[in-house]
Amino acid sequence: MSEVGARRTWFPKLPSLSRFTFVDVVLWGLRIGVVIVVVGGTVGTLIKGRYGAAQWFDFLVFGLTIGSVYALVALGYTMVYGVLRLINFAHGDIMMTGAFAGYFLASHFAQTGLLDHSPVLAMLGILTVAVATSTIIALLTERLAYRPFRQVRGLAPLICAIGVSFFLEQTFRGSFGSGIRAYPDPRWQKETIAIFGFGVPLVEVLVVIAALISMAILYLIVQRTRMGMAMRAVSEDADAAALMGIDVNKVVVFTFGLGGAMAGIAGVCYAFVFKQVYFFMGFTPGIKAFGAAVLGGIGSVPGAVLGGLFLGIVESIGPALFLDGIGIPAPYQLRDLIAFTLLIMVLIFRPYGIMGERMAKKRA
Amino acid sequence: MSHAPPRPAARSRLQERSALRRSLRIGLIFGAVAVYITVVGLLPSLDARWIVVGVVSLGDAALIAIGLGAGAAIAGRRWSPDFWPLALPSFFAGSVAGGLLALLALAMRVFDLRPIFITLSPALLKVLTFGLGAPVGAVVLILGGALLATLGGALTLAPTGIRTPVLVGLASIVVFGVFQELIQIMMQYGKFIGALRDAIFTWEGLSPQGAAAIFVLACGGALVWTRVLRGPVRDRFAGLTAVQQNRARAARIAVFVLLLVLFPVVAGSYIGQVMLLVGLYILMGMGLNLEVGLAGLLDLGFVAFFAVGAYATALLTADSPHALASYTALPSLSYWAAMPIAVIASVIVGVLFGIPVLGVRGDYLAVATMGLGEIVRVIVQSDMAAPLLGGAQGILQIPKPRIGGFELADPVDLFYLTLAASAVAAYFAWRLENSRLGRAWMAVRDDEDVAQALGINLVKVKLLAYGLGAAFAGLAGSIFAVMLTSIYPSSFQLLISINVLALIIVGGMGSLPGVMVGAVALVGLPELLREFGEFRFLFYGAALIIMMRIKPEGLWPSATRRRELRAAAGGGAPDDPEEAAAFAAEPLSAAQRPAQ
Amino acid sequence: MEHSNCLPISTYVALAAVALAAVPTASAAETKGPVTDDIGVIVISKGAPIQLGAYWVMSGADSALGIDEKRGVEIAIKDHGDTLAGHPIKLNVEDDLCNAEGGQTAATKLAANPNTTIVLGPACSSAATAGAPILWKAGITDIATATTAPALTAADRKPGYDGYMRTVYSDIDQGRSDAKYVHDVLKAQKIVTIHDGSAYAQQLATVMGDNFKKLGGTVLSQEAVAPTDVDMHPVLTRIATEKPDVIYAPIFVAAGAQLLRQAKDIPGLEKVPLIGSSGQMAPDLVEAAREAVVGYRITYPDVSPDAMGAGYPKFVDAYKAAYGEAPISGYHANAYDAAELAFKAIEKVVKTDASGASYIGRKALRDAVLTIKFEGVSGPIGCDQYGQCAQFKPAVYEFTNGDPKTFKIGENPKKVWP
């Protein structure tokens, strides 16, 4: 007893060592490890001075671009989770369906020259087809696969979502082939716009703007319309909302439709930036977008966008900034590692994300 | 007040309209299924495989099954016990189903859809229309659909005495036709069996005479069983005492197990290989069962423990520059020494995995563990870890285990090793389930906060779940490494974790027999049907969705689980009275006894 | 605890011991009919087909590779008149999914069929590493068609691979000649290599880098991407800061197309040529990269008519006639030659008795494969003692057109070296 007291007088600020469990040690070790890698890597990279301002700006812009795609997909995740408490594993694949649908129209327009002559009309057409396809498929999956699980907790909805994901991927593979299709490359998308003195391709700027506009529209819908209020009510407490006279079914259908639309826009944006569409393209962006949604705070619309942009930037700058500095060979292979580590750190240490409520540690 | 008798005219008109709508809906659903399998490319793939050579292909059988199914769905509703009132709706549903397919055929004839839907080629049109060209073929499809549906309805309503033998006969033809290669390989011993094989099969598959013979035999056998033998056997069984009934059941299971164990010897090394893979997945399933089924910890990073077991074994035993023996003072170990070390390594990694995610729950845990699994995969494949782990080239030249001078080289030998390992593991799992730890796990699964309030040390219990689950996976991983004698990082993908999760869900969570059933269904069958490998994941996805909707407790659920799920779904006893009686009557096996 | 459902452990152990003892082990010298062989004899009764086994990647993303080779073999069978030594030919194809488990399962299935005379394939080295020993254990010779891993025909390969040969070159040769091209012809001093985490790409990049260093050049760094990566800007930006003369990226179509498209956007890399390799010789690359593929060069075995056997153009015509499209991948000719090699070997050792039944000795068949030399459609075929039956004749092809319909080996891309 006296030793404890003696320890306390020597180090009055530290908590009693007897309260440190093994788990705490490991978690602190994890925190310290990550901090060492981040700080050490950053310092190392800056010392090496390999990249100039132009390159860092490029990294930033690429990160914002891919981050905007993540943000658009994350918006869908976050809304569906808020209303249904369901991680829709198939959401990334819904993005793929939109991209595929848009492809056929886009290549047709490219062939007939419409894409070059009247870009606005063509893009609107492509977006419409993509959004329509993805929304319809989202609504179908809700109706056929998720509706029976409205009341059921546990694993069944998650497994069903995984099943839907496989099903969508394979349907598209079987119908359209496993080869890669490429979106057309119209000249006007490659023109650069000068921002802060550096040239940025127009298409990337458009994607970021699209994400921001979508977020704004979504935010307005959720905060200012009756349906949005109903959505917020249902995500707060579905039973109470039903008692208040809200048609929960309609709200859920609306939410899925909205999420599907977002995914469709995301698909077209992704496809115009990265050009390659194939049946499996939605899987990894889907998982990363979910990470982004968690990062920003599940249930929060601005949070999803912030999370998406942040994740994109970290993915883009991370290997160069952290891993390169500590001398890891071939750091770009480990990009996914950075993304997943970020996701796990968020889930462990700040589960409510940047802007969301405490969801992960509550009864899910 | 007297009740006026219901006016028959109005009621029948209402019935008629809804009957029409219902049969329209069923027809549309089945038609959509038929169009779907055509567009997705499943039909051409099925068509390439004969059931009866020259007569019926698997594709034809699929379409026939859809037609029959439409009729069966209508008749299954049992609007009326007689057949004739249902004949017209069945006919109608079948014609609608055939009509959708006919529309597709006509569309293919008029438009060239190949640039978009790659499977809609002229060759497919020929297959769909039976070589008759689009307009005639369309009519044939509609009529054929209608007739098949009527037949299906008739079959559904037929008495069991007729229906069962016919279905058994047809099923036997399909089985013999589809698995003809395997069966022919199995029938290669002995003159008599060889002659039998030549009588039934040709080089390409089941001959028409063979099919007829099998149908007659199977049908006859089923007839004999249902009419003659089943009744007396049942009566005799009911007449035994409870202890004798238990013994009879145990004996039945023992015979089944014996057959299972000796089957690979008879069937050859390919079946042994398939059973080996199934066994590995059963091992992993038992481990994940501990984590998910008992402790409620949804772990999608399970493949990481599998990888640790495989790599540990490889590093300790391989004859390669990457093995630890090549550049440290450690000697190259034999498999029997390396296996326990691999298991221990998996346990350690399992515990280390569990520590960060102790506080994460529910779906978030799924994604967090998925992230951890992916991190392991990326590291294992990376150039960064390549000096230690071999990078993309993997680790080669892993020797097979030896007992004395005998090398376990054949898949059948390794299957027996896996069987022994599974038996030991099953024993552990079963004991764990009924122990204090198992009950603590179930408490944590039901409600963490309450469990903690009751004094259960969450940290210890959860870490034990991760660690012990990982041990099973590590064991499976080490057997995997010696099975392949070389491991590549591409073998350890997220897909394996999802596979294992799917098979314990489909088989029945928390139940050991369920794990086996799930493994056979989701691993064994796709391996046997490898030529449809392209559609494996399509079946997977569809199977997961359908299973979750129809039978979420799994194919062979534990009794506890079934009760829980029924209670959760808002019912008390099972609604089928037959089942309730059986439920009450069957003495719960030790494995299924609820933890009390 | 009265009755448990599990039998006592001892029963399992006893059963296992019994079963292990019952499993047949390798047989000693066998005599059937007029043939005596150290390993075994295959008997083909009169009128029964000679069964050839095959395993390739037939499904999934790389299926074009396997399907292409299967077609090559089918054309070889047709050219041979569908008969061999008086028996019809039956080809049993298995799918190995381009990984080790698949290769093992496919090989086990083929080996379980006692009528499998010889096996063709696979296309992926990991499948061969797992499958070839299984086949040889059953006495079946395996003539591979597209597996290029050096270890499979190295001098120190294990005895389990004694039955493995291949009618395709080894990565050692391709890496060496690629280094020579980049160093001597492109006059590059500093290069960066990129691989995508697959065993093939990493091996080739490493071998090429080592050879390049031996020739006096410098490998600035060895980068890696994931095969499903879409955003190549960061890795390209990093490479741009190193200022290489050439970027060598022997990866596959998806990542390769992304590299092609995005390299043009990176300042500093506009003049740096990107060099790919055989994994990208497919119309998919043109579809994925479109205009960006114009001017792109890949290294590939020389399949031009003057370098190939005279039969190659005829072979391509037959391919187009039978399947309605140009060859969809790069190893169809190797598959054709593997089939030819198998036919010649079988015809050399088969013995037919009076009743019309044929007998083939397994070891004799393998030895025959090693001794046969002929001019195949992919070049001269002749095996050394380690199973390497084809040599690499290097060539470099350049793409000229971004329209995927114009893909044709020899025109788009056209040969630019030697």
Tell me, yes or no, if C314 comes closer than 8 A to chain A by beta carbon.
no
Count CB atoms within 10 A of the CB of residue A168.
21
Do the domain assignments include residue A247?
A: yes
Name the nearest CA neighbour of C300 among C250, C256, C244, C227.
Answer: C250
Do the domain assignments include residue B243?
A: no
Do the domain assignments include residue B168?
A: no
Q: What are the structure tokens assigned to A253, written together?
A: 């259908």
What whole-number distance in Å separates Cα of residue C260 and Cα of residue C255?
9
What whole-number distance in Å separates Cα of residue A252 and Cα of residue A80?
8
Handedness of CA B236, B241, B244, B250 (dihedral sign): positive
Name the nearest CA neighbour of C280 among C305, C303, C297.
Answer: C297
What whole-number distance in Å separates Cα of residue C394 and Cα of residue C316?
20
What whole-number distance in Å separates Cα of residue B358 and Cα of residue B236?
54
Do the domain assignments include residue A329?
A: yes
Smallest Cα distance from A198 to chain B, Å:
34
What whole-number distance in Å separates Cα of residue C58 and Cα of residue C67?
6
DSSP 8-class letter at A223: H
pLDDT, tens digit (0-9, with 9 covering 90-100), for A308-335: 999 999 988 888 888 877 778 888 888 8
The residues in C 368-397 lying below 8 A from B, measured between CB atoms, are none
Name the nearest CA neighbour of B495 among B364, B345, B344, B377.
Answer: B377
Q: What are the structure tokens assigned to B308, written together?
A: 């640790």
What whole-number distance in Å separates Cα of residue A308 and Cα of residue A339?
11
What pLDDT, on the 0 to 100 scale, is given for residue B55?
Answer: 81
Which chain A positions have a beta carbon within 8 Å of B548's beta carbon? Answer: 149, 156-157, 159-160, 163
* Domain with B99 in it: 17-158
Give me the phi and psi of A76, to 5 degrees please.
Answer: -60, -45
Task: Specify whether B578 is located in the same domain as B488.
Answer: no
Which chain C positions have a beta carbon within 8 Å of A67's beta carbon? Answer: none
pLDDT, greater one: B593 or C273: C273
pLDDT, tens digit (0-9, with 9 covering 90-100), for C88-133: 999 999 988 888 888 999 999 999 888 899 999 898 888 999 999 9
**What's the per-residue H, E or C state across C302-350?**
CCCCCCCCCCHHHHHHHHHHHHCCCCCCCCHHHHHHHHHHHHHHHHHHC
Which chain C positions have a beta carbon within 8 Å of A284's beta carbon? Answer: 228
First to last CA, chain C: 81
Smallest Cα distance from B294 to chain A, Å:
13
CATH classification of the domain holding B371: 1.10.3470
Beta-carbon contacts of residue C366 (< 8 Å; ≥ 6 apart)? C141, C162, C163
Class of residue C402 by CB neighbours under 10 A (exposed 0-12, middle 13-18, buried 19+): middle
Do the domain assignments include residue B464?
A: yes
- Final residue in a domain of this structure, among A219, A248, A279: A279
Strand B56-57 and strand B402-403: the pairing is unpaired
Give the three-class secondary structure for B82: coil
Task: Specify whether A172 is located in the same domain as A211.
Answer: yes
- Final residue in a domain of this structure, among A245, A279, A313: A279
What whole-number distance in Å separates Cα of residue B352 and Cα of residue B348?
6
Q: Which residues pair with C224 in a beta bridge?
A: C195
Q: What are the structure tokens assigned to C54, written together?
A: 């095959």
In chain A, what percentage of residues exceed pLDDT 70?
91
Architecture of domain C30-170+310-393: 3-Layer(aba) Sandwich (3.40)
The residues in A 240-299 lying below 8 A from B, measured between CB atoms, are 287, 290-291, 294
Do the domain assignments include residue A290?
A: yes
Smallest Cα distance from A339 to chain B, Å:
9
What pLDDT, on the 0 to 100 scale, is given for residue B493?
Answer: 87
Task: Specify whether B474 is located in the same domain as B395.
Answer: yes
Burial C109-147 (b: 16+ CB within 10 A, else e): bbbbbebbbbbbbbbbbbbbbbbbbbbbbbbbbbbbbbb
pLDDT at C249 over 50: yes
Task: Specify whether B366 is located in the same domain as B480.
Answer: yes
Q: What are the structure tokens assigned to C59, written together?
A: 């499904």
pLDDT, tens digit (0-9, with 9 covering 90-100), for C204-227: 999 999 999 999 999 999 999 888
Name the nearest CA neighbour of A305 among A267, A266, A344.
Answer: A266
Tell me, yes or no, if C295 comes closer than 8 A to chain A by beta carbon.
no
- Final residue in a domain of this structure, among B476, B505, B524: B524
DSSP 8-class letter at A180: -
Tell me, yes or no, if C63 comes closer than 8 A to chain B by beta carbon.
yes
What whole-number distance in Å separates Cα of residue A347 and Cα of residue A359?
10
Do the domain assignments include residue A133?
A: yes
Count CB atoms within 10 A of the CB of residue C48.
16
Select from A58, A182, A315 the Cβ nearest to the Cβ of C288: A182
C389: number of CA atoms within 13 Å, CB side?
Answer: 35
Mean pLDDT of C175-191: 92
Give the three-class secondary structure for C143: strand
- Final residue in a domain of this structure, among B158, B183, B198: B158
**Least confident range of A32-41, A115-124, B198-207, C212-221:** B198-207
pLDDT classification of C28: cutoffs 50, 70, 90 = low
Mean pLDDT of A63-88: 88
**pTM, full prediction:** 0.86
- Final residue in a domain of this structure, among A250, A279, A308: A279
Using the beta-carbon criterion (under 8 Å), do C130 and B181 form an inter-chain contact?
Answer: no
Do the domain assignments include residue A194?
A: no
pLDDT classification of A117: cutoffs 50, 70, 90 = confident
Amino acid letter at C105? Answer: T
pLDDT at A232 over 70: yes
Tell me, yes or no, if C109 comes closer than 8 A to chain B by beta carbon.
yes
Task: Specify whether A217 is located in the same domain as A334.
Answer: no
Do the domain assignments include residue B199?
A: no
Do the domain assignments include residue A363?
A: no
Q: What is the mean pLDDT of chain C?
A: 85
Task: Specify whether B123 is located in the same domain as B50.
Answer: yes
pLDDT at C13 over 70: no
CB A272, CB A183: distance < 8 Å: yes
Task: Specify whether A123 is located in the same domain as A236.
Answer: yes
Do the domain assignments include residue A38?
A: no
Count CB atoms within 10 A of the CB of residue B454.
10
Domain ranges across chain C:
30-170+310-393, 172-302+395-417
Beta-carbon contacts of residue B354 (< 8 Å; ≥ 6 apart)? B462, B463, B465, B466, B467
DSSP 8-class letter at C90: E
Tell me, yes or no, if B534 comes closer than 8 A to chain A by beta carbon.
yes
Q: A: neighbours with 3+ CB pairs under 8 Å? A: B, C
**pLDDT < 70 positions in chain B:** 1-16, 78-81, 560-596
Task: Specify whether A271 is located in the same domain as A258.
Answer: yes
Q: B: neighbours with 3+ CB pairs under 8 Å? A: A, C
Please check whether the two domains, C30-170+310-393 and C172-302+395-417, share a CATH topology: yes
pLDDT, tens digit (0-9, with 9 covering 90-100), for B565-595: 666 665 444 444 444 444 444 444 333 434 4
Beta-carbon contacts of residue B17 (< 8 Å; ≥ 6 apart)? none
Mean pLDDT of C245-270: 89
Task: Specify whether A310 is located in the same domain as A335.
Answer: yes
Which chain A positions have a beta carbon within 8 Å of C258's beta carbon? Answer: 274-276
Q: Name the helix (H) or strand (E) containing B439.
A: helix B436-446
Task: Specify whether A257 is located in the same domain as A138.
Answer: yes
Q: C: neighbours with 3+ CB pairs under 8 Å? A: A, B
Strands (E), chain A: 181-182, 192-195, 198-201, 276-277
pLDDT at C4 over 70: no
CB C236, CB C278: distance < 8 Å: no
Name the nearest CA neighbour of A165 among A136, A130, A132, A141.
Answer: A141
Task: Specify whether A145 is located in the same domain as A122.
Answer: yes
Beta-carbon contacts of residue C211 (< 8 Å; ≥ 6 apart)? C175, C176, C178, C179, C180
What pLDDT, on the 0 to 100 scale, is given for residue B81?
Answer: 67
Select from B265, B270, B533 the Cβ nearest to the Cβ of C109: B270
Task: Specify whether B448 is located in the same domain as B343.
Answer: yes
What whole-number distance in Å separates Cα of residue C248 and Cα of residue C298?
9
Task: Specify whether A120 is located in the same domain as A228.
Answer: yes
Architecture of domain C172-302+395-417: 3-Layer(aba) Sandwich (3.40)
**Which span out of A199-208, B524-533, C140-149 was modeled with the highest average pLDDT?**
C140-149
Which chain A positions have a beta carbon within 8 Å of B375's beta carbon? Answer: 337, 340-341, 344
* Domain with A318 in it: 282-356
The residues in C 183-212 lying below 8 A from A, measured between CB atoms, are 197
Using the beta-carbon criterion (under 8 Å), do B393 and C6 form an inter-chain contact?
Answer: no
Select from B40, B357, B375 the Cβ nearest to the Cβ of A341: B375
**Least confident range of B22-31, B230-239, C191-200, C372-381:** B230-239
Which chain C positions have a beta carbon within 8 Å of A58's beta carbon? Answer: 233, 237, 266
Radius of gyration of chain B (CA): 28
Task: Specify whether B491 is located in the same domain as B591.
Answer: no
What's the structural domain count of chain B? 3
What's the structural domain count of chain A? 2
In chain A, what percentage of residues exceed pLDDT 90?
28
Give the three-class secondary structure for B357: coil
Task: Specify whether B377 is located in the same domain as B511.
Answer: yes
Task: Specify whether A213 is located in the same domain as A316.
Answer: no
pLDDT classification of A4: cutoffs 50, 70, 90 = very low
Beta-carbon contacts of residue B573 (< 8 Å; ≥ 6 apart)? B566, B580, B583
pLDDT at C284 over 70: yes
The residues in A 329-348 lying below 8 A from B, measured between CB atoms, are 329-330, 333-334, 336-337, 340-341, 343-344, 347-348
DSSP 8-class letter at A178: S
ipTM: 0.85
Please give the full DSSP string across C281-298, using - where no structure is assigned: -SHHHHHHHGGGGTT-EE
pLDDT at A101 over 90: yes
Please give the full DSSP string across B202-231, using - where no structure is assigned: -SSSB-HHHHHHHHHHHHHHHHIIIIIIHH
CB C58, CB B530: distance < 8 Å: no
Select from C228, C241, C257 the Cβ nearest to the Cβ of A55: C241
Task: Specify whether A131 is located in the same domain as A204.
Answer: yes
pLDDT at C8 over 50: no
What whole-number distance in Å separates Cα of residue C399 and Cα of residue C408?
10
Tell me, yes or no, if C216 comes closer than 8 A to chain A by beta carbon.
no
Task: Specify whether A228 is located in the same domain as A122.
Answer: yes
Name the nearest CA neighbour of C233 among C200, C207, C258.
Answer: C258
Please give the full DSSP string across B496-542, using - where no structure is assigned: HHHHHHHHHHHH-TT-HHHHHHHHIIIIIHHHHTGGGGGGHHHHHHH
Which chain B positions have a beta carbon within 8 Å of C202's beta carbon? Answer: 383, 391-393
Task: Specify whether A150 is located in the same domain as A235.
Answer: yes
Best residue in A192, A276, A316 for a mutation probing chain C (most C CBs within 10 Å): A276
